[in-house]
Chains A and B, each alone.
Chain A
Amino acid sequence: MKIVSRNLLIFALLLFIYTILFRFGLGELLTAEKWAWVIIISVVYGAMIFFTAWTTGKRDGINNFLFDAGFRWNLTTFIVWGAASEGWFLLGLHSAHETIRVVHITLLIWSGFLILHLILFLILRRRTIKGIHKTNIFE
């Protein structure tokens, strides 16, 4: 059982690539003032993250029995998205329509949800034995 598993690393890498591509596309579309397309790529970006998290998480569950109520995936998304977005601004790659304040507000709200998720995980952890959910031990 690994906390940082291969599937989690694959997810983090793909998320990083998606975020860079999204940031690039978003900047271009905002500069061109193509508002409808901004919504479309945002939805596509969100759907791709969801789909990738779903598939890598499911695959991870087959061989890695560690029960975390999805917290590792949420935390990874928070870290990777936050780092990629902050880096994007620090390198000055953002468009004139974007401000770093939006990234900071998003991270602030998200950290609140992250804490709630952690509390949920700690509550649900009572249903585990040595990190494995009781219902998944005996087959």
Chain B
Amino acid sequence: MKTDDALHKELLSAWEETYKKGQLTLWIFLSLKEGPKYVSGLQESIERFSKGTIHAEEQSLYRTLRKYYHLKMVDFSAGKGHKGPDRKYYHLTPLGASLLQSFVERNIQLFFEEPLKELLLNDSITAKK
């Protein structure tokens, strides 16, 4: 039998694994909302914003950005590289920005409103043994 602590850890990890699927877009868009970024910079800000809970592989980011570029959600401009060739600095297009705005209004903002806000911030959870 697993101890409560071990079970908690295992369940949390499984929940987070499922929860993170589909999260990359939001983190990319939020990072780009902060300002134009090249891929490594984007990777760093995603880790910083998510406090290390989200790690995106560089290859995966390139692939995703190419898709978003094709769908006109992001665009890029060439900028000076750090002692190297020019880099692509990605930014949100008006379509990408309005998409993020709508997504946040419909899916994120409700967490900042009562009663969800109260439930999320209140750590005295009532649990029956």
Which A residues fall within an 8 A CB radius of B? Answer: 1, 62-63, 65, 129-132, 136-139
Contacts and interface: CB of A to CB of B under 8 A. Distances in A.
A32 B43 CA distance: 64
Interface of B: 21-22, 24-25, 60, 63-64, 66-67, 70-71
Contacts, number: 26
B12 to A, nearest CB: 22
- Does more than half of chain A's interface fall in helix, strand or loop, or is it mixed? loop
B67 A132 contact: yes
A130 B63 contact: no
Contacts of A129: 71
A130 B70 CA distance: 8
A139 B21 CA distance: 7
A38 to B, nearest CB: 45
Contacts of A136: 67
A137 B63 contact: no
A1 B45 CA distance: 28
B70 A132 contact: yes
B25 A139 contact: yes
